[in-house]
Amino acid sequence: MNTGMLKYIGLGALLLWFVIAGRLFCGRACPLGFIQELLYKIPFWVKIKTFKFDRPLRVLKYAHFVYNFVLPALVVLGFLKAFEAHEMGTPFYIVLAVIAVIIRRPFCKYVCAIGAASSLFNKFSWYRYKMIDGQCVKCGICTKKCPMNIIPYTMKNSPECIRCGICKRICPKKAFAKNKEGAEYA
Ligand code: SF4
Ligand code: SF4
């Protein structure tokens, strides 16, 4: 079995995980996410929460996903003749590390191909967030703390949610439903 095939068997297993958990890995287990959180804790006089092109730039991670996985997959399946994805070099990651001191999780927001793929499952995966009707008072505490700059109480299954669980933990009203049997999430 060649390495190309192995790569796509691994990708199949990953897809199964995405169906179960959506973007949960990003917020709970990804080492790059952890490193970015540490970098963002470095004191710096400018910390940018959002900026004009924040939202449009988030589309880049999907382009990265197509370039790194979809196009090579078309080669393996015989739909494309020659295409070889090239990883970004060390200088790119150094620049990104510097940006991560100022902007929280730039790799997750703008670059990560795996994050892009798993984000597509957030709305449909078994593990989803549900809120208890009438419990949220829209105090905005969760919005201030969200590392991905989304509004947890209206965008709880947004593709941008990395399932870090911060909003659930800090909500003073305990507005997010508990996962007793899994099916409670919707
Ligand atoms: S912290 Fe809780 S109550 Fe406040 S806006 Fe978020 S979900 Fe609603
Ligand atoms: S919505 Fe909640 S779980 Fe999702 S990224 Fe924001 S704080 Fe984390």
**Measured from the CB, is residue 24 less than 6 Å from ligand 2?**
no
Please write the tens of the pLDDT for every residue from 127-184.
999 999 899 999 999 999 999 999 999 998 999 999 999 999 999 999 998 754 443 4
Nearest to 71 by CA among 86, 88, 58, 85: 85
pLDDT at 177: 86
What pTM value is reported for the model? 0.88
**Which atom of ligand 1 is nearest to 143's Cα?**
6
Please tell me the predicted confidence (pLDDT) of residue 147.
96
Enclosing H/E stretch for 163: none
Ligand 1 center–CA 29 separation, angstroms: 25
130, 176 contact by CB (below 8 A): yes
- The CA distance from 45 to 159, in Å, is 30
Which residue's CA lies nearest to atom 8 of ligand 1? 136
Q: How far is the CA of 176 from the centre of ligand 2 (A)?
A: 11
Is 175 touching ligand 2 by the criterion CB < 6 Å? no
* pLDDT for the residue numbered 23: 95
Are 184 and 177 in contact, with CB atoms under 8 Å apart?
yes
Q: Is the minimum distance from the CB of 100 to ligand 2 under 6 angstroms?
A: no
* HSE of 122, CA atoms in CB hemisphere, 13 A: 24
